[in-house]
Amino acid sequence: MALTVTGIPCLSDNYVWLLQDAATGAIAVCDPGEADPAIAAVERLGGRLDLILLTHHHGDHIGGVSALQARFGGKIIGAAADAHRLPKLDQAVRAGDTVTLGSAAGMVLETPGHTVGHITFYFPDGPAVLCGDTLFALGCGRLLEGSAAQMHASLQALAALPPDTRVCCGHEYTESNARFALTVEPGNQALIARATHVRNLRAAGQPTVPTTIAMERAENPFMRAADVARLAAIRTAKDSFR
């Protein structure tokens, strides 16, 4: 594959994603919520940093940006709509814009719902999608600013990506999401098997991501919600699920 994708755990349950273009060695880091793990990961790959990609403005996704850029440089890319609450952007992007990582191109999708300015980076060469807190493995982000209609449209846009696209999401929430998903679709055999696999991975201290668009289409009740009302009902139920 043209892009190597690595998830770096940080904070309590966040992932910083590190992408490397095989052809040129160019490196991008997405959502560095904490500097030290991201710096160590970039150092391990030789200390080159081309892009710092930001999906949204929350502190657990941008907290490490200034230290990371001070150390390695790197062009900071984020949503034009949220430029006022993101670190100073070198490239402010909107839906349909392209970001360049060596020989690989990433497309910008606007995916509001969790926040109104949330964006997602899709790299067809990976294929991989950096979706922040919009889509999670077996879940989706809380509606902190956006509407259920916006989140529904965002999830359906992600569902339309190629099935083998690796889903690189912002948090390790999968085990709790799996328990909730089983209450929504108790008869979904693929989901039942996945939930067991996820439990085993977590018990062994392993990450459950990246997942794929195909897996989420088959097993994620938020992506599978047929309409906005259904998504809104599931999201509300999840907000109080323990």
183: its two tokens: 């209450």
Q: Does 31 bind Fe ion (CB under 5 A)?
A: no
Letters for 58-87 (x = contact with Fe ion by CB under 5 A, - = none) are --x---------------------------
Minimum CB separation from Fe ion for residue 59, in Å? Answer: 9
Q: Does 194 bind Zn ion (CB under 5 A)?
A: no
Q: Which residues contact 103 (CB under 8 A, 6 or more apart)?
A: 2, 21, 23, 24, 26, 125
Q: Does 21 bind Zn ion (CB under 5 A)?
A: no
127: its two tokens: 């294929």
Q: Candidates 50, 133, 172, 219: give the one binding Zn ion (CB under 5 A).
A: 133
Minimum CB separation from Fe ion for residue 163, in Å? Answer: 26
Element of type H or E holding 153: helix 148-159
* Cβ closest to Fe ion, residue 57 vs residue 166: 57
240: its two tokens: 């109080």
Q: Specify the stretch interacting with Zn ion by CB under 5 A; choose among 127-135, 176-184, 194-202, 224-232.
A: 127-135
Q: Candidates 34, 82, 110, 133: give the one binding Fe ion (CB under 5 A).
A: 133
Q: Specify the stretch interacting with Fe ion by CB under 5 A; choose among 71-79, 125-133, 150-158, 226-234.
A: 125-133
Q: Which residues contact 196 (CB under 8 A, 6 or more apart)?
A: none
Minimum CB separation from Fe ion for residue 174, in Å? Answer: 14
Q: Candidates 58, 166, 171, 194: give the one binding Zn ion (CB under 5 A).
A: 58
- Dihedral of the CA atoms 23, 24, 29, 35 (nearest 10)? 130
Number of residues that bind Zn ion (CB under 5 A): 2
Calpha distance 62→59 (Å, rounded): 5
Q: Specify the stretch interacting with Fe ion by CB under 5 A; choose among 57-65, 81-89, 119-127, 231-239.
A: 57-65
Helices (H), 131-212: 148-159, 174-184, 189-203
Bridge partners of 139, per DSSP, are: 136
